[in-house]
Structure 1
Amino acid sequence: MKNNKIWIIVAIILILCIGIGIYFFFKNKYTNSSNYSAERTSTNQDFSANNTSVNNNIVSNSQINNTENFGHNSLMENKANEENEQNNIQNIEPKKDELISSFSTKIYTKESERQNNISITCSKLNGTVVKNGNTFSFCNTIGPATSAKGYQEADIFDNNGNKKKGLGGGNCQVSTTLYNAVLKVSGLSVIERHEHSNKVPYIKSGKDAAVAYGSYDLKFRNNTGNDIRIEASATANNVSINLYKIF
């Protein structure tokens, strides 16, 4: 009886050992399977990340290439536009002009102050363009004769025909020369002109044109159908005016 109890106890112990062994066997198998799955997942994630990085690099390089191509194309377009603009400039013909009148008067008085005044006035008048349909004013174009502009005192006539010194003496010879050039052009209509209070030596009577800023002016209207350019010059001996038709 005693021996039977011992065998029963031994059997129970064996059964427990076998059960424990089976438990740890399946537990280790499950753990290894989980680790393998985790490793595969990690590997796949790394591979996916590497692929993403490579793809990003490819996209980045593509963007760089596109940017370079865009910049190159922009430079080519700008160069083409510049060449077209240059061609357009070259194809634009400059305006032409034609001499339609010329008149000169002789300088008899050789005083330096008068010569100086004539030279200043010619330089201010030279290059003036009278648009078709517009009215030219000598006084508005030249402005008042002042020492600040470089004008000096020279002989002028007062209202009674007496000589006296005044700033801008000699200007009337320039206005007179212009007046006679205007008279030679059909379509230039004189609308204001004044004679001197005494005879002047550089033009015959009735052909002079006295000017005094704020008092006497020489005005004419351009009805020629074209713009008119005035060319004025002076030497020690002559005052010359040329009129050009611009077309």
Structure 2
Amino acid sequence: MLAPKEFRLKMRETLNKNLTLSHPLFNHIMNENKPNLDLLKFTSLQGYQLTKFFLEYIENLFFYCPIQKHKIHLLHNMYEEQTGFLSKTKNHVYLMQDFIKAIGISDEERESATALKNTQELIDYRLNACRNPELYHIGAAAVMVASEGQNLEKIGEEARHNILGKTYNLKDEDLYFFSVHQKEDVGHVKQGLSLLVDYCTNVKLQEEAIEAIDHTCKLFYQMYQGIYEYYGLDKLDSNSQIKVAENA
């Protein structure tokens, strides 16, 4: 069994090695010289499918949490998700809706959107774990570390919301969903790591928590791959690489 410090470090390393913003999809979305608004809209609607369930994940993790000090942290997290009071904004689903509206998607289009297969797989994996108290450590690892950790990633030295703002001429208030999470999720990931250190009291629990972090990050990557293939960008990029090779 890993010592607490080693276990925490192993979980953090597992998160950091799975950089989903490295997916080539983001080369197309965040290209300041060639914005692709339609692709941004479609990707955002897939992201919204995830956002709609996030409060339920936290509610279940709070309900089943057996450790009082971590239960309090989860209560604060849940309160912020529902009200936005701590960040002085609003309900986090509403923040995502504000961003979606700012990029030109109507309420009707937003609510009629459905999850692609890979997106649904990510949703179901986290829901199933969070709803089952026997899989508590897997749910906590998937949500509090792997999922909240997604918002800490940067492209180079810039956060994704800064690049989106410049590329698509968006105002700061349009991007609060991203900027709020980038600040708050630093603490949420730390809380998740601490909870898992206290909860995982044997080798099996530790190994399963680490695997859940790795698997969840890979599911995020596969969600982006699903969008990438849906738009035919895999073929486009492949053809571009062939042409470059032929001209070399």
TM over 0.5: no
Greater RCO structure (CA 8 Å; 6+ sep): 2
Structure with larger Rg: 1
- The structure with the greater share of residues assigned to helix is 2
Q: Structure 2-normalised TM-score?
A: 0.22
- The structure with the greater share of residues assigned to strand is 1
Q: Structure 1-normalised TM-score?
A: 0.22
